[in-house]
Each structure stands twice: as C-alpha cells, then as structure tokens.
Amino acid sequence: MHLVDNVLLNIVLMTLIKFAGFVLAFVMGTATVLTWAERKYSALLQNRIGPNRANIGSIRAGGLLHMLADPIKMLTKEDFVPNTPNPILFRLAPLMAFVPALVVFAVIPFGPGETFQISNTSLGILFIFAISSLNVYGAVIGAWASNNKWSLIGGLRISAQMISYEVAIGLSLCGIFMIYGSLDLQDIATRQGELLWGFIPAWGIVYQPVAFVLYLTCAIAENKRAPFDVGEAEAELTAGWWTEYSAMGFAVFALSEFIEIVLIGCVGTTLFLGGWTIPGLHGDAWWIVVLEIGGFLFKSLFLVWLQMTLRWTLPRFRYDQIMRLGWRIMLPIALLNLVVTGIVLTFIERA
Amino acid sequence: MAKVVNRLHPDFATQSYVIEVFKGVALTTRQFARNLFARKDIVTVQYPDDRRPYTPRFRGKHRLMLRDDKSVRCVACMLCATACPANCITILAKEVDDPTIEKAPSSFDIDLLKCIYCGFCEEACPCDAIRLDSGVHTIPSYTRRDQKAGVINLMSLGSVSIASQGGEHRAHSHEGTAHGRSSGH
Ligand code: SF4
Ligand code: SF4
C-alpha cells in the first residue's frame, strides 16, 4: 500500500514538475511575451514605435511592462455579456478554446527520453489532431452564443475554414509517418537525430519539404491568424467571432491563440526540424541534454517568429480564395505528396 | 474614350505565391532590423510628449475677440448663429449703455459637441468677434454640459483685434493670434 502510494505520488509529482517547467514556464511564458512581442514587432516592421507607455515610476523597459498592465486592465474591465439566450455557452466558449490548446502539450517531447515528455503515448500525433480539432468549438460556440450577426458570420467562416484545413493538414503529415513508420512523437524526434549519408541531418524538412510548407500554411489557417483571419476580418465584421467578448473572455481567447502559435512551433519542430535532436550530438551527459532542450526551444521559437512575420507580411485572403486554396490546391498537393512518398519508399525498400 | 486597364499577367512562379511569400518575409525582416538598430524610418510622434504644430489654418475651439477696453466685441447681431449649419450657437442679447454700441451678448453659448468646426460663424461675423484660430483642440469632458462653452470661457482665449469697429479705425500692432499654440488647455 505504501509502495503504491509512493509510485503514484512520484508520477503525480513528476508530471507536475514537467507541467510547471514546460507548459507553465515555456508555453505560457512565451504566449505572455507574445502578447507584447507581437505588438512591438509589428510596430517596428511598420516603422512605428509600438507599446512603450506602461511604467512603474520612470521604468518603462521598452514596453515590457505591458505584459503586466494588460492582465490588470483585462481583469478590471467590464465583463460584458450580450443579450443572448445562451449566456452559459457564451461564458464557456473561451474555456473550450483555451483548454484544448493547452492539453495538447502533454505529448510534445521537449527533450530526450521519457523524462522530457509529460505523457509518452504511442499515439502522440493522433492525440494532437483529436484535441486540437476541438478548438473550433470554442470559436464557433462563442460566435453562436454572442447572438450577433457579425459574430455568426465570423463563426461560420471559421468553422468551414478550420474543418477544410484539418483535412489538408492531416494528409500533409502522413508522409512523415510513412517515412518514420511511427506515430509516436518521441520516436519520430529520435529518428531525426540520425544523419543522412553521413552529413545531412535526417530531419523531416529534408525528406518532406513540400509537406513542411503545407503544414505551416494549414496550421496558420487552423489558428485563424492572418492571412487567414477572415473570421475576424475587422474591415468587414467589426471583430468577427469575438466581437462581443471583452475583458477576461477576450483575453482567454487571445491567449489561446498565442498558445496555439507556440503549439504549431513545437509540433513543427518535432516533425520537421528534428525535434530536440542536434545533428552529430549524442550522449547522456547533462550538458548535452541541456543543449538539446535548448535546441528544441530555440527551433520552436524560430517557427513562432516565422508565423509572426508571415502574419505581418501577408494581406488577408478573401474568403473564397481561402476555400479554393484549401480544397483545390492544398488537398491535391498533399495527396500528390503522399503518392510520391509512397512510390519512392517502395522503391527504396525494393532496392 | 474607354480607359484601358492594364491587367497583370504574373507568371506561374509569381502566382504560386511561394517565392513571393519569402520575398515578403525578407522585406519585412529587413525593415524590422533597420528599425531595431536605427530610428530614422520611424514616423511615430510620441503624442503627449511631442506634438505636431497645427497649421495656421487649423480651426480649433472658438474664441470671442475683445475691444480695447477688454469688453467683448460681439454685438449680438446673430449672423453667426444664422450661418451656423449645426445650429449650435445660442446668443441672448442685452442693451449696453454706450450709445455707439448697439447690443452685446448677455450669454453666448456654443455647444461644442454639435459644432462641426466649419468656420462659417467666423466668416459671417461682421465684427471680427468670433474666431476659430485659438489652436485649442476640443477638450474631452465627462459630461455634456461641460461641452457648452459660455461667453466667459470663449473670451478667456480672446485677444484684442485690430479690425475697425464702430466706424473708426484704430490701429494696433499687437494683434494676438494663437497660431501654433499647441498646449491643449
Ligand atoms: S464652426 Fe460652424 S458649426 Fe461651429 S459654431 Fe461656427 S458655424 Fe457653427
Ligand atoms: S459673434 Fe459676430 S456674427 Fe456672431 S453675434 Fe457676435 S457680432 Fe454677430
């Protein structure tokens, strides 16, 4: 009895530590910094200065204090509930977007071995797909419960868009699974530590460059950020699906969007950029492990940066263009990519 | 003659958008780096600290001009109130002891929330009594009542005008306009 208790306690404790270290510190930390970084970054590349006013006395820290000021503002603002028949759904929607975005990190391997993964499941990537596709409910139910035409139109656009790109994103990743022959993210990451012909890192992006472009495009579309933010479309729909949200409800939605940016970065790193592996570096020494974890975080942050830059570079697509891109371009290319991968793999096996 | 529209026919590489996206990313990144290390492209004016000067033709809050003896120049002729397209000037006239002056306003209210700052009142006035050149931006307030500018309020921005009034020309060297006065109060 005592032994069982200890084992259980150990598991719970370890999980909590990993949760605190990875999800709370890295993911939430990055998401919080992103709320400031996104504004500052967009400002600088548009020849503006960006937020720099929040201060404690004379300390401004280049606007960094906005990260502190924002939550205070959000917590003290009026928490508006529109005249809606579904006030409970309206309240629930931000959580329905927030929780799936956070849960998914459970299966991301951020370092070598089981120690650096909250939950080691052989179905890793399927779990990610299953949970993150629940995300659409938060947005759509929020839009529906807002009892507002703009929200509803935004919600409709989002649901169609997210479900369309779900198909393409799934197919684009199939090539990776065929090559590494596994759905286990830790497995895939470890396999990418090998070298191809002795000098090229065997990363997913080397085997599947097309899939990487497809993945990134579809993932940004899934996250409904510019250039795919027709659901929000300030110019047409006020603020689209989150028009009616204010205060913390809005903050939670916005935060879950930022968390998903980090998620796209982490999944993209794990599948295409070699995960935590560093080419040519193997071993169990503690400094290697630290380097590997650092490498994973760095690569993830690189993808986060790429998403941010894409957002502030590209103009918003029209809604019909998005649908055409999803069904008539992304889907066929993903299928073709899959067929070619299959043929090549068969030849390699025969040879 | 019909206008000829030049349609663009981008080649396949451009249309596929992939290379163009990377070109765009390179452009924005270059601009980010430029602005990170040097400030010469930045166009932001740090508003309450730095202000841009208003142009001399800026129409701001109204002011009522003064006579030499610092009484109000306005003779309550109602021309401005008549000209006002927003109907926001309310003048009540009163008698004055000085026989050379017809009337004077006993109250002169402008509802600044209704005013569209068109400047018609200024143009209509025969006495150079009302002007919009104070350079003062309308000041925000918590109540609508605060947006009614009364005669005292408007006169406090006023100054002596050199325009002749009452048939007799009096020259003044120190016409006070408030061009470029940019502090907002
Ligand atoms: S500026 Fe135009 S709207 Fe305003 S008080 Fe004068 S005439 Fe009326
Ligand atoms: S401000 Fe000028 S136009 Fe208006 S009532 Fe006075 S004198 Fe007449």
| Closest of A100, A31, A8 to residue A259, by C-alpha | A31
pLDDT in tens, chain A (351 residues): 566 677 788 878 878 887 787 778 888 888 888 888 888 888 888 888 888 887 787 777 777 888 888 888 888 888 888 888 888 888 888 888 888 888 888 888 887 777 777 777 778 788 888 888 888 888 888 888 888 888 888 888 888 888 888 888 888 888 888 888 888 888 888 888 777 776 777 787 888 888 888 888 888 888 888 788 887 877 888 887 888 888 888 888 888 888 888 888 888 888 888 878 777 777 777 788 888 888 888 888 899 998 888 888 888 888 888 888 888 888 898 899 989 988 988 888 887
Tokens read off for A282: 């193997």
User: Does residue A141 sit within a domain?
Assistant: yes
Indicate if the pLDDT at residue B166 is higher than 60. no
At residue B165, the pLDDT reads: 60
- B18 CB neighbours in chain A (<8 A) are 213
Inter-axis angle of helices A247-272 and A286-313, to 10 degrees? 120
Q: What is the DSSP letter of A287?
A: H
Tell me the count of A-B CB pairs closer than 8 A.
39
Rounded to whole angstroms, how far apart are CA atoms A320 and A211? 23
Q: For residue B135, which of B173, B164, B83, B176 has the smallest C-alpha distance?
A: B176
B14 touches chain A (CB under 8 A): no
Let me know if residue A138 belongs to a domain: yes
Classify residue A173: in a domain, yes or no: yes
The pLDDT assigned to B120 comes to 92
**Does ligand 1 come within 6 angstroms of the Cβ of B176?**
no
Q: Which domain holds residue A278?
A: 84-350
Beta B103-111 vs B89-95: how paired, if at all?
antiparallel
In percent, how much of chain B has pLDDT > 90? 8
> Alpha-carbon distance A135 to B173, whole Å?
73
Q: Which helix (H) or strand (E) holds A157?
A: helix A149-180
Residue A2, H or E segment: helix A2-18
Q: What is the pLDDT of residue B84?
A: 93
pLDDT (0 to 100) of residue B157:
73
Question: CA A91: distance to chain centroid?
Answer: 23
| pLDDT exceeds cutoff 70 at B87 | yes
SS3 B177: coil
Q: Are the Cβ atoms of B44 and A48 closer than 8 angstroms?
A: yes
In a domain, A271, yes or no: yes
State residue A52's pLDDT score: 82
Query: With contact defined as beta carbons under 8 Å apart, do A103 and A131 qualify?
Result: yes
Residue B123: CB atoms within 10 Å:
12
Tokens of B99: 């026989």
Q: Phi and psi dihedrals of B2, rounded to 5?
A: -70, 145
Q: Facing residues of A337 across strands?
A: none
pLDDT at B68 over 70: yes
User: Which of A43, A49, A309 is nearest residue B28 as measured by Cβ atoms?
Assistant: A309
pLDDT of residue B82: 93
Is A322 a domain residue? yes
* Burial (CB count <10 Å: 0-12, 13-18, 19+), residue A110: buried
Other residues' Cβ atoms within 10 Å of the Cβ of residue A244: 23
> Would residue A50 count as lying in a domain?
no
Full set of structural domains in chain B with CATH: 63-165 (3.30.70.3270)
Cα distance between residue A111 and residue A164, in whole Å: 33
Write down the residue that tokens 């200890």 correspond to.
A6
- pLDDT above 90: residue B85: yes
Rounded to 10 degrees, what is the CA torsion of B133, B139, B143, B149? Answer: -20
Q: What is the CA radius of gyration of chain B?
A: 26
Residue B168: strand pairing partners? B165
Q: A62 and chain B: CB distance < 8 Å anywhere? A: no
Per-residue pLDDT band for B174 (boundaries 50, 70, 90) equals: very low
In a domain, A260, yes or no: yes
B146-160 pLDDT tens trace:
777 777 677 777 777
Distance CA A19, CA A21 (A): 6
Which residue of chain B has the CA closest to A306?
A: B25
The pLDDT score that the predictor gives to residue B171 is 45
pLDDT at B79: 92
CB-ligand 1 contact for B83 (6 Å cutoff):
yes
**ipTM score of complex:** 0.74
For the four alpha carbons of A262, A264, A267 and A270, in that order, the dihedral sign comes to negative
Contact A313 B18 (CB under 8 A): no
The amino acid present at B21, given as its one-letter code, is V
Residue A141 Cα distances to A91, A146, A163, angstroms: 10, 8, 15
How would you list the strands of the sheet with B148-149, edge to edge?
Answer: B89-95, B103-111, B148-149
Kindly tell me if the per-residue pLDDT of B60 is higher than 80: yes
Average of per-residue pLDDT across B64-93 = 88
Secondary structure of A252-265 as H, E, C letters: HHHHHHHHHHHHHH
| Cis peptide bond N-terminal to A227, omega within 30 | yes
d(CA A326, CA A320): 10
Tell whether A44 is within 8 A of chain B (Cβ).
yes
Q: Locate tokens 């000021």: which residue?
A: A69
Structurally, how many domains does chain A consist of? 1
- Which pLDDT score is estimated for A80? 81
Task: Judge whether B104 and B71 are in contact, CB under 8 Å.
Answer: yes
Q: Could you tell me if residue A52 is inside a domain? A: no
**Interface touch A45/B29, C-beta < 8 Å:** yes
Cα A325 to chain centroid, rounded: 21
Ligand nearest to the CA of B113: 1
DSSP class per residue in A194-261: SEETTTEE--HHHH-HHHHHHHHHHHHHHTT-TTS-TTT-HHHHTTGGGTT--HHHHHHHHHHHHHHH
Please say whether the beta carbons of A165 and A244 come within 8 A: no
Q: Which residue in A215, A314, A329 has the most chain B C-beta atoms within 10 A of its own C-beta, making it the best mutation to test that interface?
A: A314
Angstrom distance (rounded) from CA B80 to CA B123: 8
Mean pLDDT, residues B46-69: 83
> What average pLDDT does the structure give for chain B?
79
Helical packing angle, A286-313 and B18-37, nearest 10°: 100
- Residue A129, classified by CB atoms within 10 Å of its CB into exposed (0-12), middle (13-18) or buried (19+), is middle
Contact B25 A44 (CB under 8 A): no
Q: Other CB atoms closer than 10 Å to residue A8's CB: what's the count?
A: 10
